[in-house]
Structure 1
Amino acid sequence: MEDLDSPRPSRRALLQAGAAASLLWVGVGRAQPQSAPAPSAPARPLPSQAITLRINANDQLLDLDPRTTLLDALRHQLGMTGSKKGCDHGQCGACTVLVNGRRINACLSLAVMHDGDEITTIEGLANGDLLHPMQAAFIARDAFQCGYCTPGQICSAVGMLQEVRAGWPSHVTDDLQTQPVALSDAEIRERMSGNLCRCAAYPNIVAAIRDAAEEA
């Protein structure tokens, strides 16, 4: 039975004892030796893969790490630096090229995915010394400043006009029944929204695309 006459510990004594026990536990924990992490196995390189990229009507034979993006294959393996690496996350559009007539972000696509595809870069749009109408329109309208985004802007615009001719609507198309789609400034801005210009030359870019569309 509990001895009711024995003195009980005070609240202060209980708190002091608890604090002392906590400090002792922390000290014991810190004194324990820390085990070194197990060394990780070195990464093994993936076997290379032979592919044929048909770029600007010319076959290019490459032996690539399968993780190589199309953009890096163009720039580093083939020396075709017209396609720019801006964000490397598919957000700026500076790396836009045409694959089988459709525009894509080359930084988001693996080169091995395009074995045998028809790839057109900014270097392949002109016919010798004769500029593509979109290139000529960009020059006439002064639709660039630093020029870094311009190759992607032009390739994207060429692909966009093909989409318009095919009757593809956009988010701002008012009438889905009327063909062909009326290419207003709002349509151009919406359809080119994936291509960013840090110099903000957008009014001239829209004007250049409108000129090229009217000429076509």
Structure 2
Amino acid sequence: MPPKGTFITFEGIDGSGKSTQTKRLAKHLEGLGHTVVLTREPGGSVGAEEIRRLVLEGDPDRWSAETELLLFTAARRDHLERTINPALAAGHIVICDRFADSTRMYQGLSRGDLRHKVDALHDLMIGTEPDLTILIDMDPSVGLARAKGRQTAEERFEDFGQDLQVKMRAGFLDLAKQYRDRFRLIDGSRDMDAVAAEIRKVVLDYLT
């Protein structure tokens, strides 16, 4: 049987620095000789990137939380089939900016109690959890200011405002307690180099 790779995900509120840190980690691991697949959600495959535009752009009320859950799950399934699973089967390290934990928060917690539906659909259609999850924790007001400062078309969730970010932060911290075996909590309020150094240590400790 082919070797199984390692699946690492990054989670956190909007503007917490996940995208920057995933890129820095991937570059560091590649420098050590690892084969790394850097990907993101929603997205990471052709079909999933098409769905990304549907869910991240437009008016905040464009979709209900239930419809979003179906769209995100469809994107994740395509992503899993076409990108994540083949890379893991080849023994590579997959680093993903967001995965199912974000759906547990943004659709399962944000606008009603849909967590049981999120978990049921995940078990039915996805059935995969990361080996290691890096949670970058940050003050919601700081994260939201960073996210809005990017001024991209993908600001649908940021447009829900700070109350959502506060709720998401609390939810992510609760998730870290629920899945303590795979979560590692990182203080994202420090400068990027300090955050990157701690993440490298956590990941290298896990890999060895």
Q: For this structure pair, what is the TM-score category when the shorter chain's length is used for normalisation?
A: under 0.3
Normalized per residue, the structure richer in helix is: 2
TM-score, normalised on structure 2? Answer: 0.23
TM-score, normalised on structure 1? Answer: 0.22
Structure number with the bigger relative contact order (C-alpha 8 A, sep ≥ 6) is 2
Larger C-alpha radius of gyration, 1 or 2? 1
